[in-house]
Amino acid sequence: MSAERMDDTLIDVPRGLTNVAVTETAISQVRGHQGYYQYRDRSAIDVAQTATFEQAWQLLVHGRPPEGEALRQFAATTQHNHHGLVREVTQAVTTASTAGSLDAMSGLKAALPLIAQELGMQPLYDLDDQRRRENADVLIALTSDLLASFHRISKDDDAGAPASGDGLVDRYLHRITGAAPDAACERALTSYLVAAMEHGFNASTFTARVIASTGADLASCLAGALGSLTGPLHGGAPSRALDALDQAESAEGGVEGWLRAEISAGHRIMGFGHPVYRTVDPRSQMLKQIVTDLGGPRVQAALEFEQAAQQVLTELKPGRALHTNLEFYASVLMERCGIPPEMFTATFAVGRVVGWTAHILEQARDSKIIRPSARFTGPEIEL
């Protein structure tokens, strides 16, 4: 059992801190049994379907979405003036790698603290709220550029200034695919990234808040969150969901046979189930409609896979609410928009970095360090 120390008394809590409220937040709320979540005072799905990336960013980090001229001005500020620094840091980090190659997520984890140091970003403890928000906006804007730069380097392509575009999503998609995106894909990816920006006290968000509670600099908080995100049980599963589709389609027993074999072997079906939702994941419902509208050869296979998986899971795991989660149709959407599988988790991070920074800023206003205890199970030494 996990435990929290109060003086010399340990209070047992559920494994994984399930259903334990560790603090208060005004950023988001997830109602798992109702299949609903919100960003501040708005339905998150409504925001994902209607807002730009920059509007959702402002809502979560600054508490209000900009409109009209304010939106245009804010979008312009995301086209930062650090292109030369980004190029130097990405190339330096890549050169320092002894593996001969570096994936975008590993590169970003190494690059963010270096960028912050070069820009003179101080620990959160030493900054007022305004400076913290300024640092947050810079690092959010730089994240997509850094990820795209590492991707281009891995392809032996130019890692220089970002492609021109009206917004962050347009520029990111342009650099990843090498071509200006069509409006449908740009809107689809925007909806996905906004829906993925924030989702309560998930593992990476909690990691970021723990580090923020020490007063560390914002880049260090983000690097820790990124490390958590790479785990297959958290944000590292979108490409695995696509792998499952490929394996099932080519299996001798067909999709149903493959599913039965995987579940009987105790393997998890990636893209299904969620630790919070006990009904349909509203993000998955939204993305399912988006990819259906986009069309493409993968969509029908995904729809048939979902139907078969629901039937087999209901039969073999009765009483378990195992529906598709965000990652299942996100993989189909990203593939349809030209994003390669190795950039799926990195693309998720382009959105989630907004939620992380919002939580980091909120945590930084609390002077209490997060310091739980554990119940010792080793041999006791008599004093």
**Per-residue H/E/C for 272-319:** ECCCCCCCCCHHHHHHHHHHHHHCCHHHHHHHHHHHHHHHHHHHHCCC
pLDDT at 2 over 50: no
The active-site residue out of 151, 199, 274, 323 is 274
Q: Is 380 a catalytic residue?
A: no
* Mean pLDDT of the 204-228 span: 96
| 374 beta partners | 2
Question: Per-domain residue ranges for the chain?
Answer: 46-230+346-364, 238-336
Q: Is residue 28 over pLDDT 90?
A: yes
pLDDT at 348: 94
**186, 262, 327, 335: which one is catalytic?**
327
Mean pLDDT of the chain: 88
pLDDT band at 192 (very low <50, low <70, confident <90, very high): very high
Q: What is the pLDDT of residues 117-138, one digit of tens each?
A: 999 999 999 999 999 999 999 9
Domains 46-230+346-364 and 238-336 share a fold: no
* Annotation: CATH topology of 238-336: Cytochrome p450-Terp; domain 2 (1.10.230)
d(CA 88, CA 106): 16
Considering the four listed CATH numbers 1.10.580.10, 1.10.3720.10, 1.20.1250.20, 3.40.640.10, the one that applies to the domain covering 46-230+346-364 is 1.10.580.10
Which pLDDT band, with edges at 50, 70 and 90, does 3 fall under? very low
User: Two tokens at 349?
Assistant: 């991070």
Q: Is 70 exceeded by the pLDDT of residue 4?
A: no
Q: How far apart are CA 91 and CA 87, in angstroms?
A: 6
The whole-angstrom separation of Cα 122 and Cα 229 is 24
The answer on pLDDT for 185 being more than 80 is yes
275 Cα distance to chain centroid: 16
Strands of the sheet containing 42-43, edge to edge, are 28-31, 36-39, 42-43
Active site residue 134: no
CA gap 87, 52 in Å, rounded: 27
DSSP assigned state of 98: T
What pTM did the predictor assign? 0.90
